[in-house]
Amino acid sequence: MSTEAPDRFQRAAATKRKRTINSIAEAAKELFDERGWHEVTRDDIAKAAGVGVATLHKNLGSKQNVALVAYASLVRPLVTEGAVTDREVEKVITDFIHDLANAATDHPVLAIALLPACRDTKSDITKPRAAEVDLVNFDQLAEHFGRLLEVFWNRRVNPVGNVTEIAELYLSGLLSWTLKHPDSSARAATILINQL
Rg for the chain, CA atoms, rounded: 19
Domain region containing 41: 4-195
116 contacts 171 by C-beta, under 8 angstroms: no
- Residue 87 DSSP class: T
Query: How many domains, in total, are found in the chain?
Result: 1
| pLDDT above 90: residue 182 | no
Q: How far apart are CA 23 and CA 28, in angstroms?
A: 8
User: pLDDT tens across 145-159, in order?
Assistant: 998 888 887 766 655
Predicted structure pTM score? 0.81
**Which helix (H) or strand (E) covers residue 122, if one does?**
none
The candidate with the shortest Cα–Cα distance to 149, out of 162, 163, 137, is: 163
DSSP string, 130-142: HTT-----HHHHH
Average pLDDT over residues 7-21: 85
User: pLDDT tens across 20-38, in order?
Assistant: 999 999 999 999 999 999 9
Beta-carbon contacts of residue 59 (< 8 Å; ≥ 6 apart): 17, 20, 21, 24, 129, 133
Query: What CATH code is carried by the domain that includes residue 23?
Result: 1.10.357.10
Percent residues over pLDDT 90 in the chain: 41
